[in-house]
Amino acid sequence: MAASMLFQMRRHCSLVPCLTVAKRQYASNPPSLFSKVFLQLNQRFLEVEYLIRLGNWFKNRDVRRKNLFYDYAQKKYGVNVAAAYSILKLGGAFRFAGQTEWFCTDSKGKFSFDFVNTPDSTIEEIDLSRTLINQAGLHNLMSQRKLRSLSVQGCPEVDDWFLARLHVFSETLQELNLSHCPRITVGGLAALQHLRQLQQLDISSLPQVQSPGLVHILVEEMLPHCKVIGAEYDQGLQIQTDNREPTDADSLRHAQT
């Protein structure tokens, strides 16, 4: 540490050599291992950051893997099979149009590949609640133009950009459940205006939405034919009548007495 300080001083002024002599004893004092490591790391700032980025990359690998675009499956088996496969891979469930039974995974994440035999059936209902789907994963589902109902309840990776991509289902989507998604904000809810067929929308418990009561009203106005489930209208509004009225009444009472 001392050495680098002296180096810094030398850079700044040519008189420093005389000082250096006086301080020689410190220069010969070896810096502690800790500070040596620290100085080394300081010089390797970008590399360290790169390593940490790599760490994050590994951490997010799961999300990315689950949201891969199944290009190969689409080409080989058709778009419907690829969509079905991607849903089951994510741990979600779906129902084909004209059928009543749901395809889903068992507790170990295994599932049957029966859907491969019916490449022509399109998906009508999708339940992806509590999965890792994000806007990239939505790409696999874009082909499902008969989709009627979608639930992404409690999905940690669903954000405003996800909502902005839902417009592809604008002709068919009737039910949408977005409740408990921690990343959705008002800015994303505005994108739901394109879903003209929507009949039921659940936007309850969105922690990032401030004044949920007001947002509830605004979403209802935006989608006049849709039943919106969400916060009570007065939630998040600061209701001051409670505080103010008594004081008015008090002052009245005072005036009378």
Interface ranges with other proteins (CB under 8 A): 1-2, 4-5, 8-9, 12-13, 15-16, 23, 26, 43-47, 49-50, 52, 135, 160-161, 163-165, 167, 185-191, 193-194, 211, 214-215, 218-219, 221-222
Q: Which is nearer to other proteins, 4 or 118 (CB)?
A: 4
Q: Which is nearer to other proteins, 8 or 118 (CB)?
A: 8
CB of 236 to other proteins, least distance (A): 11
| DSSP count for the chain of H helices, then E strands | 12, 6
CB of 83 to other proteins, least distance (A): 19
> Residues 6 or more apart from 177 whose CB is under 8 A from it?
129, 150, 151, 152, 153, 201, 202
Instruction: Quote the CA–CA distance of 257 and 254 in Å, as a whole number.
Output: 5
Instruction: Quote the CA–CA distance of 257 and 248 in Å, as a whole number.
Output: 14
Instruction: Quote the CA–CA distance of 228 and 221 in Å, as a whole number.
Output: 10
CB of 132 to other proteins, least distance (A): 16
CB of 223 to other proteins, least distance (A): 8
Q: Which is nearer to other proteins, 116 or 183 (CB)?
A: 183
CB of 50 to other proteins, least distance (A): 6
- Token digits for 238? 């600061």
Q: Which is nearer to other proteins, 81 or 184 (CB)?
A: 184
- Token digits for 228? 């919106």
What is the Cα 240 distance to its own chain's centre?
34
Task: Count Cβ neighbours within 10 Å for each residue of 31-47 and write b for 16 or more, e otherwise.
Answer: eeeeeeeeeeeeeeeee
CB of 216 to other proteins, least distance (A): 11
β-sheet bridge partners, residue 127? 93, 151
Q: Which is nearer to other proteins, 181 or 189 (CB)?
A: 189
CB of 63 to other proteins, least distance (A): 12
Q: Which is nearer to other proteins, 193 or 200 (CB)?
A: 193
Q: Which is nearer to other proteins, 27 or 104 (CB)?
A: 27
- How is 68-110 classified by DSSP, letter by letter? ---HHHHHHH-HHHHHHHHHHHHT-EEEETT--PPB---TTS-
